[in-house]
Amino acid sequence: MLIESSNNPKIKKWTKLKQKKYRYQSSEFIVEGEHLVSEAMASNVVKEILVKEGSTVHLNPIFNTMKPTYILKENLFTQIASTETPQPIMAVCEMKAKTIEKDHRLLLLDRIQDPGNLGTLLRSAVAFGFDGVVLGEGCVDVYNEKVIRSTQGAIFKIPIEMHSLKDYVTTLQSKGVKVYGTSLENGSPLGEIEDASKMAVILGNEGQGVSSELLTQTDQNIFIEMTENIESLNVSIAGSIIMYRFRL
């Protein structure tokens, strides 16, 4: 089906999905590019395929079984896309949350605000076998287009939940999960930490770290040993190192 007018109701709806409040009102979000669209299809969350007029990408066997498919005039396609030079295919996806079912390895995020950092942390959590990621208050929206691009499909492969971390930490500890904070203050070197059968790691805000209130709740706080030539690591790099250390 070819759409040529910006007055088409679907164009108006898809454009609004760039805004967080409309994404959550409709429980939908958009992914761009062949890789992310194929990952979304594999996870059975795709509702509609959008293709730029003149492209034949939708005839690829990976995508041609998906209905409905809409062909959009180039200016309309660009209007909906969030990238400056978008690939010629997008998908409208359903927010289909996965529930965290195991708690052997969990990542808790406290006010992570950079989309690239959140996306990288999600990729690392998948890579190193973590059971789920919990976003506390103040984190960037996981369905932000920059987060989605940074995950490179990891968003579809791991349970992600949103909770008050203060309450969630208490709940985890009541179930025997050992909770580690990340802080130099009263912290122990990462290399000295023994594996626990059930554990969770809290990573904090890019500028302020883990909140002092959460650090008082943890069972133990840890830090990464480094040379004196560098003061700190980016939170996504630090988190990836820690998750690699505790991978299953």
- pLDDT confidence of residue 248: 82
- pLDDT confidence of residue 235: 97
Q: Which CATH superfamily is domain 2-94 in?
A: Ribosomal protein L30/S12 (3.30.1330.30)
DSSP designation for 238? H
Q: Tens digits of per-residue pLDDT, 40-81?
A: 999 999 999 999 999 988 878 778 777 799 999 999 999 999
The alpha carbon dihedral of 24, 28, 30, 34 has a sign of: positive
Helices (H), the chain: 9-16, 20-26, 34-42, 74-80, 115-127, 145-151, 165-174, 212-215, 235-245
Rounded CA-CA distance 183/205 in Å is 12
**Segments of the chain with pLDDT less than 70:** none
Rounded CA-CA distance 206/209 in Å is 6
Rounded CA-CA distance 229/125 in Å is 28
Burial class from Cβ neighbours inside 10 Å (0-12, 13-18, 19+) for residue 176 reads: exposed
Q: Which residues pair with 48 in a beta bridge?
A: 92
- pLDDT confidence of residue 12: 97
Rounded CA-CA distance 224/193 in Å is 11
- pLDDT confidence of residue 231: 81
Q: How many CB atoms lie within 10 A of CB 25?
A: 11
Mean pLDDT rounded to a whole number for the chain: 95
Burial class from Cβ neighbours inside 10 Å (0-12, 13-18, 19+) for residue 2 reads: exposed
- pLDDT confidence of residue 246: 96
Q: Tens digits of per-residue pLDDT, 122-153?
A: 999 999 999 999 999 999 999 999 999 999 99
Range(s) within the chain of domains with CATH label 3.40.1280.10: 105-245
Q: 167, 189, 174, 190: which is closest to 243 by C-alpha?
A: 190
Please provide the DSSP assignment of 177-233 as one string.
-EEEEE-STTEEEGGGPPP-SSEEEEEEBTTTBS-HHHHTT-SEEEE----TT-S--
H/E run at residue 162: strand 160-162
Q: Which CATH superfamily is domain 105-245 in?
A: SPOUT methyltransferase, trefoil knot domain (3.40.1280.10)
- pLDDT confidence of residue 229: 85
Range(s) within the chain of domains with CATH label 3.30.1330.30: 2-94
- pLDDT confidence of residue 211: 97
